[in-house]
Structure 1
């Protein structure tokens, strides 16, 4: 093999990465919009060129061999760098076109980021925006690897990634205790004794009265739940002693369960502001209690920052300044 001959193509690397991600040749083919035989032929050709076996095809799910794991690691870096190069070239068009890859943790991605993106695209309508909503850990890893230009997250950033990221406080996320508004669920009272009992709760509570409520919460692995529990513990409140009626996996599911009168929940004010204003939910005030966390803006200073990404970061900072001025 000549010194500068490369025995693979970018398309082959994309195929290998997709098979690794989705665990099968068929699913990888579907995601890449090619036929399964074409994927198989490309992998066979690549394995012949490299003289290694990349996948163990014996079970239901395709498993990477050691050589496959090594190539996937390099594939991600090569493909991310290739995409960076494309974004840098697009920058020559002076913000008239381009793609912005954003990440966000659940609350931010569901309730805050869409509004921020809509505001940004009023000024730059030709910019294509891609948003992925994942756990803080996965988003932070994606930013470090160049999959995302920047992100806003609410959870704890893995310590091993902090040296690879620029992390700054962006906004404060306040959690409020809410129940179904009595007027909104009046039709359910006779059918649901549980809903009726939740409506007997006074709107102003002492801390010890929290243990008498029926809670709907996120699952224990959720970084949002961990942030809420940590904040409660600073007020000598033990969330492990709460009466948990249901554990759900999404904020929307929790909000809908609360609206149905099935329990109370701590939810982000960003997520429930419209429901409070419309009278669908009612806030319960706990004496002396403020449950808050800091949302963080992250990006990788080691990665190319396109003009589009820099402009969006400036937009975020201006939006944060406007929000602070309103609450001042």
Structure 2
């Protein structure tokens, strides 16, 4: 009888097309990977993989088995998750992921509000990029993720918007543009731009907005990429350039008259903030209560800070 481990190895080898890569991904030796495949081929009495110097590919029999293996692994994951969910008590705690902007500037308000009525709940928050969180939801390592900007197009995901955010141009208070409310794209290309790194939700929204409005993103003079919004704000304050970041992240600096926000003419940077879950996932009771808070738009208006935009 074939084991789940053999199926997992077979699926990964079929996906990567490379036994060496699978051994690295699954932290197994190459001989162990080969043995698992050989065991499957012996059990089914057919050759499942064509082996060449460039890697491996599925035979016709291998393709047939692969379809069933995908379903078997999916069912096993669902069974494990269902049993785990059933074994929890009435609550089970909250294990939630959030992208950097949401995690640093909105999540504290959400947790504070939630804890006012649910003081005994354990909350574990994971802060990471959209791509990382989406993969963890897909792998069932995370039940709920709050993400910004474009969401993965996959039937396994359920996406629900809970709030909206806007990206704005941020300049120092002594910048020549500080008294203006808007600038043109052509003016923007004359300045040194500081941006978030590739893969961040903020970066994707900015690139898509320019493309949607027929502006060439490559015309911008990007001088610095940073993996932290806080670092970007400090760089702008130091006069290293200007930035396009979330209006939520510069509330304090605007109130303290340290930074000024502007908009780009004929270019909207509005983006949805979304709840990402797995279509076949199960939330603990605490997580369900937390998501219910996110769906209460009136309550969110009360607890979130009002945007400060020029």
1:259-308 deviations in whole A, cap 9, x for unaligned? 6643211112344557x37979623334988742111224355x243435
**Residue 48 (structure 2) pairs with residue 53 (structure 1):** yes
Does residue 204 of the first structure (1) align with residue 179 of the second (2)? Answer: yes
Give the number of the structure whose residues are more often helix, by fraction.
Answer: 1
The separation in 2 between residues aligned to 1:87 and 1:110, in whole angstroms, is: 29
Structure 2 segments unaligned to the other structure (5+ residues): none
1:188 match: none
Does residue 65 (structure 1) correspond to residue 55 (structure 2)? The answer is no
Deviations 1:112-139 (A, max 9, x none): 56886897897433x7777764439x93
Tell me the SS of whatever aligns to 2:36. Answer: helix
Change (3 A) 1:248 1:129: closer
TM-score between the two structures when normalised by the length of structure 2: 0.66
CA distance in 2, matches of 1:271, 1:297: 20
5+ long unaligned stretches in structure 1: 1-6, 183-198
- Residue 22 to residue 218, structure 1, CA distance change in 2 (3 Å): farther
Work out which of the residue numbers 115, 135, 138 in structure 1 matches 2:131: 135
Give secondary structure in 1 for the equivalent of 2:79. helix
In the aligned structure 1, how far is the partner of 2:32 from the partner of 2:218? 56
Q: CA deviation at 1:171?
A: 1.0
CA distance in 2, matches of 1:242, 1:25: 43
1:109, 1:154 → 2: CA distance?
10
Q: What residue number does 1:172 align with?
A: 164
Note closer, same or farther for the CA distance 1:70–1:221 as it changes in structure 2 (3 Å cut): farther
Q: After the TM superposition, which of the residue ranges 292-301 and 249-258 deviates more from structure 2?
A: 249-258
Q: 1:254 to 1:25 in 2, by over 3 A?
A: farther
Measured on the aligned residues, the alpha-carbon RMSD in Å equals 4.8
Q: Find the aligned partners of 1:69 and 1:114 in 2 and give their Cα distance.
A: 48
Aligned residues: 293
Contact 1:214/1:242 (CA < 8 Å) preserved in 2?
no
Deviations 1:16-48 (A, max 9, x none): 344456665455445545444333322221232
Asked whether the 8 Å contact 1:174–1:268 carries over to 2, the reply is yes
> Contact conserved, 2:194 with 2:226, CA < 8 A, in 1?
no
Is the Cα–Cα contact under 8 Å of residues 144 and 300 in structure 1 kept in the other structure? Answer: yes
